[in-house]
Amino acid sequence: MIQPIDYFLVVWFALAAASTGYVGWDQYRNNPEPVVMKWGFILVTLYMGPLGLLLYVLADKEPRPGEHETFIKALWKQGVGSTIHCVAGDATGIILAAAITAMLGLPMWIDLIVEYVAGFAFGLFIFQSLFMKSMMGGTYWQNVRKSFLPEFISMNFMMAGMAPVMSFLMMGRDMRAMVPTELLFWGVMSLGVIAGFTVAYPSNVWLVARRLKHGLMTERKPGSRFDVKKGQGASARTDGNHSEHAGHEQDAGGGHHSNGGHHDVQSDATPAQRAALAGVSLLMLVLGMVAPANWVNLRLSAHDVGGAIMPPGMIMDRNTPAAAMLDMAAIDPRDVVATYGLDVRGDRDLAPRIENGVKVFDLETAVIRWSILQGVTVDAYAFNGQIPGPRLRFRQGDRVRINVTNRLPETTTVHWHGLVLPNIMDGPAHITQEPIENGSLYRYEFTAVQSGTYLYHSHDHVDRQQALGLYGALIIDPAVADASLEADHEYTVLLQEWLLREGLTYPAMPMDGGQPNYFTINGRAYPATDTIAMRVGETLKVRFVGSNNGFIHPMHIHGGPFEVVALDGQTLQPSARYQADTINVAPGQRYDVIWKARLAGKWLIHCHIGHHTTNNNVEMRGGGGLMMVIDVA
């Protein structure tokens, strides 16, 4: 239950079950109809829910004992019966084929072809020729021959209605519709059957009128509960033959009398009429099957993208590859293993253990739910259950080993941004190492030869995983301290952008459908960001880290300029240091600045792009997003 549609579908299928139960009960208890038609209405109501029940009550349910024959005479009702017969057989074959082809991982275009063949075969060879054999008379293969053209026409129109619905909805934003274990799959099947019934109905009315198909029927076996004695009903028959193909001797031609003989339906449709209708049905079938390929990528299968939910506004066309869809897809909330409130901080120092002189850190990825603001949570990929990941701090010259265990539903790696280290330890997936599979561990080990402000982040599906939270600060203290870089307080600012829509979290990207609507400093959006407490005359060292993916953030501090003392981990010589009040922090960049508290008051650190200091375009208590306060006493 991760989208509003899921709640609707639960209600819909509950109504469908209740409707089907009623139709089944009433058919066998109160309606004088052949078994094959009883099951036709039961199956169609199962697929179409309350709409199937409505059709049954309006067109077929005997209003009073003995009146069924008269009640169902109208041609529009006979068309309903004929379409019910078509849909019950064909849709059953289509739905079974759709489920099997999805599980096999066949592309959508093959899926549609298999569904058509299966639906046509099930409808013709089983539902029409086999189940109707006792009513149609003749041998099984004679019935196959007689039923072929009407079934072909009806099936073509029905699939012409179903195919676009399945193509557009299964390959739409919510591709859970491709997975048979998802409720949405069955919801799309139900809507497809409704569309197929609607498109097939007019042709079935004509087929019944021209005596090419049977419509609704009445069956009153002598001695059965539906046997109406003389004078007991408006349509009671007393000639010993208690079944008729209602009203067609007079209205649409061709009667059918079971329990006493068979009537071979003789049609008055001309060959030209049959050919024309068959040709139009085939044309509509081709259009319904092929036209969606102009807008959606029918080369993809449920194994490729099944279950992925795309962000609102993402452009998806016939050439959009599966990899692009998977990278932009929402995190599945069912993958979340833990939830953290505002009382849990990110960027916490991770203390190493010492093994034979090596500083060992353990990182583990997982899917979590993280609070960025009061009442606002994002689903995220996290190191050690925190956003940003834990701060790794060690000293220049240290030997370091970092054990990374992957618990994500996809592979990952870790890159140590800006560090000089052995190539095999650098982290790019498929380039210096194979990605870390779910449940596997990879050991990174190197000697720190630099000092300064760095970061670590995923380097497998970087635009997805880093945007969803796989990043953290990496601070390397110099072997020999530099007094000119010391400050009374220190704070690391890790920037991030988030896309949260309709309760789902997507990786924020600077592209259509991927634009962020929340922004965080150290995993929090203002006013949930930290407040730094200082006194007049004290200094604050701020380490700005471009741990975000998409935007350059002009970071500004109120209350006077600061001194830029380091860039990308490299300490600037005193002569190269400079005063500024705004610096452009690009993705991957780091700045170390020292700011002095000159006057008492509340001074802001914030991004100077106005939208980035809002929460979903809304200001809260003076701002939002990339904004925090320095409180100087």
Q: Do residues 298 and 469 make contact, with C-beta atoms less than 8 angstroms apart?
A: no
Which element (helix H / strand E) includes 632?
strand 627-632
CA distance 183 to 8: 10
What's the confidence (pLDDT) of residue 258? 40
Q: Kindly tell me if the per-residue pLDDT of 226 is higher than 90.
A: no
What's the confidence (pLDDT) of residue 503? 93
- Average of per-residue pLDDT across 601-621: 97
Digit-coded pLDDT (tens) for 14-36: 999 999 999 999 999 999 999 88
Lowest mean pLDDT among 71-75, 122-126, 364-368, 394-398: 122-126
Give me 404's structure tokens. 């990374």
What is the CATH number that goes with domain 497-632? 2.60.40.420
DSSP letters for 225-247: TT-PPTTSSTT---SS--EE-TT
Digit-coded pLDDT (tens) for 516-561: 999 999 999 999 999 999 999 999 999 999 999 999 999 999 999 9
Kindly indicate the confidence band of residue 135, based on its pLDDT and cuts at 50, 70 and 90: low
Q: How many residues does the chain have?
A: 633
Digit-coded pLDDT (tens) for 368-426: 999 999 999 999 999 999 999 999 999 999 999 999 999 999 999 999 999 999 999 99
- Average of per-residue pLDDT across 430-444: 98
R_g over Cα of the chain: 35
CA distance 17 to 85: 20
Q: Do residues 483 and 464 make contact, with C-beta atoms less than 8 angstroms apart?
A: no
Q: Kindly tell me if the per-residue pLDDT of 605 is higher than 90.
A: yes
Kindly indicate the confidence band of residue 242, based on its pLDDT and cuts at 50, 70 and 90: very low
Domain boundaries defined on the chain: 4-299, 338-480, 497-632
Digit-coded pLDDT (tens) for 465-499: 999 999 999 999 999 999 999 999 999 999 999 99
Q: Do residues 156 and 134 make contact, with C-beta atoms less than 8 angstroms apart?
A: no
Over the chain, what is the mean pLDDT?
92
Furthest C-alpha separation in the chain: 116
DSSP 124: I
227 or 569: whose pLDDT is higher? 569
Kindly indicate the confidence band of residue 232, based on its pLDDT and cuts at 50, 70 and 90: low
Q: Do residues 179 and 38 make contact, with C-beta atoms less than 8 angstroms apart?
A: no
Give me 62's structure tokens. 């005997």
What's the confidence (pLDDT) of residue 144? 80
Token match 């020729």: residue?
A: 129
Digit-coded pLDDT (tens) for 306-362: 999 999 999 999 999 999 999 999 999 999 999 999 999 999 999 999 999 999 999
Count of beta carbons in the 10 Å neighbourhood of residue 237: 18
* Cα 112–chain centre separation: 20
Cis amide linkage into residue 409, ω under 30° from 0: no
Question: Percent of the chain, pLDDT > 90?
Answer: 85
Give me 540's structure tokens. 């604050």
What's the confidence (pLDDT) of residue 133? 57
Kindly indicate the confidence band of residue 122, based on its pLDDT and cuts at 50, 70 and 90: confident
Count of beta carbons in the 10 Å neighbourhood of residue 632: 20
* Cα 420–chain centre separation: 41
What's the confidence (pLDDT) of residue 228? 74
Using DSSP bridges, classify how beta strands 531-534 and 627-632 pair: parallel, antiparallel or unpaired.
parallel
| Residue 262 amino acid letter | H
What's the confidence (pLDDT) of residue 249? 37
Q: Do residues 444 and 425 make contact, with C-beta atoms less than 8 angstroms apart?
A: yes
Bridge partners for 587 per DSSP: none
Q: What angle do CA 255, 256, 259 make, to 5 degrees?
A: 145
Kindly indicate the confidence band of residue 227, based on its pLDDT and cuts at 50, 70 and 90: confident
Give me 263's structure tokens. 């009537």
**Domain range 338-480, CATH architecture:** Sandwich (2.60)
Lowest mean pLDDT among 261-275, 291-305, 482-496: 261-275
Q: Kindly tell me if the per-residue pLDDT of 257 is higher than 60.
A: no
Give me 282's structure tokens. 């085939």
Kindly indicate the confidence band of residue 137, based on its pLDDT and cuts at 50, 70 and 90: low
Show the beta-strand stretches assigned E in 374-464.
376-383, 389-395, 399-405, 414-417, 441-447, 452-458
Kindly indicate the confidence band of residue 269, based on its pLDDT and cuts at 50, 70 and 90: very high
562 or 144: whose pLDDT is higher? 562
Lowest mean pLDDT among 162-171, 252-261, 439-448, 581-590: 252-261
Token match 């006979």: residue?
A: 78
Kindly indicate the confidence band of residue 261, based on its pLDDT and cuts at 50, 70 and 90: very low
What's the confidence (pLDDT) of residue 318? 94
Residue (of 205, 209, 238) closest to 84 by Cα position: 205
| Residue 428 amino acid letter | P
Residue 456 sits at φ, ψ, to 5 deg, of: -125, 150
* 3 state DSSP class of 474: strand
Q: Kindly tell me if the per-residue pLDDT of 267 is higher than 90.
A: no
Q: Note whether 338-480 and 497-632 share their fold.
A: yes
What's the confidence (pLDDT) of residue 560? 96
Residue 187 sits at φ, ψ, to 5 deg, of: -65, -40
Q: Kindly tell me if the per-residue pLDDT of 140 is higher than 60.
A: yes
The sheet carrying 414-417 orders its strands as 389-395, 471-477, 452-458, 414-417
Q: Kindly tell me if the per-residue pLDDT of 588 is higher than 70.
A: yes
